[in-house]
Structure 1
């Protein structure tokens, strides 16, 4: 932009400055482009291993691959896949968000149409009025009718982009809302998977705990018989009875968690709690063997929360430009044509033709500093949106890193608990065979079974945690983001987004 020195009087300086800005193409606000953010080589403090777990429960990470949207199919359960798809169709919170998004798109369409075209209205008027007459001239009051019919049109020229920036801000808000809707869909899918896994896990835990209670009751009964024979003391019986009651006391809370998981699953699917689907068998669920791993630089393009923060940044940029544009002149024209008269006959005759044509140019001069304060507030809001974007990116990296660490620890825990369950099962089977041969007492077989059941409870919990954390990682990765069907599609008037800053 070439430097031109002109002398302006105080009266014409605002208009001249506005014209200079218009002709030079200087921007009224920032571009709204996402600021530079860190690009870590890896997500967590420690590098993610290429594979986790033993061969029979191995999970590999494919770096640089984007996962398919329907990631829940990797669990190998047709029932689970059907439940997720039912939830995506029938969840009422998603339906509400979908309708709100559709409403926002229509509001954007209405605002754009209103700013692009002139407004034309037909006005009909019929009035009977009473007016005071002039003193000492004629009657003291006058009664008369007024009939009028007009076509009125008006149009405001968008000299400095007030309407354009307002449209850009609203379009970016619709984009942010569409990303939030997509994030809600992904959250519902993940919650259905996690709720189904938790329900299956808790059902298995309840069954094993009930068996533990039955074994403890059998121990109490045997000790009572031995007490009657004088073979054991009463303290041993009381201790066994206390252990059995402690186990029994843990069942109600476990059952409440189980039923709560089933109820949550039903509501996610748009059903009433009593219509919850039957539990899955956790042993029938397949641990996803290959988990796609998006590189950090690509994560920014597919996480809906990051995309929503980017859209919010564009909203703030457009609003800053809008606040600046409101400080410059606005030009409006209006026209009207119609018929008017004091009687219906005169109003419809050629003598009743009326018309008007006008134009107005408004330049804000003094608003008590409100316009400048509004522009400064918009600048601060833009800086806040930048900070929010940066923090959202860091939170996303942390979310993925935590999920990877949890999966690593889950694999170790599952491997150890599986080994404990295998060893305890072998010991129990040996004790059971010896008890059948009379070499071991029945209590020894029950003790071996108790050890096995406790080890299996640990394995069940570790299996559920690993499957749940895998679902969390899928969600954290953004799951191969694709533009939602309801994303803003309405066109923006000529000029598009804010021009670049100079």
Structure 2
């Protein structure tokens, strides 16, 4: 190793020593914009009234931890609570977090406190001697027992930084657990709403099939009597078959959804739960909307990105600190000898004490490369935090826009369904009076049933998007996880 290289290493070490107070970044998240509103357009204070409900957006209101209760369905509450209690995926995440917490305790204990070990040794040995200078061999016994202590002083904070990085990564897992719990609740709510809506759509479609079959049978009878053309009879049969073909697809959607719901709740697909009736679900009228600055503290994915940023900052500090000297102290005390009387006498006392100082001088540039790598990783963590925040803002903006548009869609479909119902009632009355043929009544009922199917789909989407907004706002079922600290 050249003298010039030694000199450069010492110069870098001296420069780092002068900036020892800043071994690593602070770990504070970067300042993020706080927009006045989430989307391209300012969100209204409430949606339009649809199906008798105009949802209120409560800006800055306190979050609702068990937000699914706002649907006012005991059956839905039971589904969510069972899922949170029995989901094996969630339980596995909890145990993984518990294991990480125990590993952190082990790391902190092993690195910050002295280690003390008891050592016992019993030995019988045979050693040869030089010929002509004594017996040909020497056999002896040796007994020893000692306590050995070792401690490394954290002079420049390498241990402290390493432990802080590990603690921050445990916090990442804690926030990820909260995100998983919140996502599980939202998935159960969304899937249950979907199943309930599919049940209603299947019932309406079954009636559509029956009406279409009645119309087709009547046209076949009229064709046999010569009152309608063959083309009209065939068209009626084709319409009935087309409507009937939609039923298997709906039933398959329902089967997939109910199987998924069972698995989310920790059940096997053959043990499906009972879902609430669609009419028993009430749309939440008040939806808390956190201001952007509060959203940074309420969403676990943002908190996880913040914890990862702190871990990366601590890694920079640890990589810098390892360029400085380390000091360790070793001590031992015990008794030993070649016989038990010697061991137990004053002559059998054993003790030792020593100190070691280590200063990295040449490691092939590895230590400096590791520090540069940790700085790059920290920069990546900063950018990941910014990306996570921007994605969170987008989630909220999309959800707010969806609820506003959903309300308008529901209002339109409800108006269409009401008009179709009025037309059907009028047609049915005129049919009873004999002023209209049965084909007119069938056609009117089909239009009414199709309008009802559209209204159910729109209402279901509105309920599901409401659950998505609660999830985007960060209302966590279990509350904020407790941060882990090594201090």
TM norm. shorter chain > 0.5: yes
What is the Cα deviation at residue 97 of structure 1?
A: 1.1
Deviation at 1:279, TM superposition (A): 2.6
1:274 Cα shift? 2.3
Alpha-carbon RMSD across the aligned residues, in angstroms, is 2.3
1:115 positional shift: 2.3
Shift of 1:12: 11
Partner of 2:383: 387
Q: Which residue of 2 aligns with 1:298?
A: 294
Pairing 1:69–2:45 present: no
| Alignment-derived partner of residue 183 in structure 1 | 179
- Taking the TM superposition and a 5 Å limit, the aligned residue runs for 1:348-497 are 348-479=344-475, 484=480, 487-489=482-484, 491-493=485-487
Aligned partner of 2:3 in structure 1 is none
Deviation track 1:254-298 (CA, whole Å, cap 9, x = no partner) reads 111112211222222222222222232212211111111111121
Confirm or deny that 1:104 pairs with 2:97. no
Deviations 1:427-458 (A, max 9, x none): 11111111122222222111111000100110
Q: 1:407 to 1:141 in 2, by over 3 A?
A: farther
Q: How many residues of Structure 1 are paired with residues of Structure 2 in the alignment? A: 481
User: Contact 2:13–2:324 at 8 Å: present in 1 too?
Assistant: no
Shift of the alpha carbon at 1:163?
Answer: 1.0
CA distance in 2, matches of 1:416, 1:295: 31
| Aligned equivalents of 1:139, 1:27: Cα separation in 2 | 68
TM-score by length of structure 2 reads 0.93
- Rounded to whole Å, the distance in 1 between the matches of 2:53 and 2:66 is 22
Q: After TM superposition, give the deviation of residue 129 of structure 1 in Å.
A: 4.1
> Residue 156 of structure 1 corresponds to which residue in structure 2?
152
Q: 1:122-201, aligned counterparts within 5 Å?
A: 122-131=118-127, 133-134=129-130, 137-138=133-134, 143-201=139-197
- State the match for 1:119 in structure 2: 115
Q: Mean alpha-carbon deviation: is it higher for 415-424 or for 339-348?
A: 339-348
Match among 38, 44, 49 for residue 49 of structure 1: 44
- Tell me how far apart the structure 1 counterparts of residues 176 and 110 of structure 2 sit (CA, whole Å): 27
2:247 maps to: 251
> Does 2:29 align with 1:34?
yes
CA 396–350 in structure 1, closer or farther in 2 if over 3 Å, else same: same
CA change 1:118–1:314 in 2 (3 A) is same
SS at match of 2:352: strand
C-alpha separation between the residues in 1 aligned to 2:287 and 2:8? Answer: 68
Measured after TM superposition, the shift of residue 66 of structure 1 is: 2.5
Against the structure 1 CA distance between its residues 433 and 16, is the aligned structure 2 distance closer, same or farther, given a 3 Å change threshold?
closer
The structure-2 alpha-carbon separation of the partners of 1:140 and 1:417, relative to structure 1 and needing over 3 Å to count, comes to: farther
Which residues in structure 2 correspond to 1:284-363 (within 5 Å)? Answer: 284-363=280-359
**Higher alpha-carbon deviation: 364-373 or 47-56:** 47-56
Separation in 2 of the partners of 1:219 and 1:140?
119
Q: Say whether the 8 Å CA contact 2:76–2:275 is kept in structure 1.
A: no
Runs of 5+ unmatched residues, structure 1: 1-8, 494-502
* Contact 1:15–1:363 under 8 Å retained in 2: no
Q: Name the TM-score, length of structure 1 as normaliser.
A: 0.91
- Among 196, 213, 217, the residue aligned to 1:217: 213
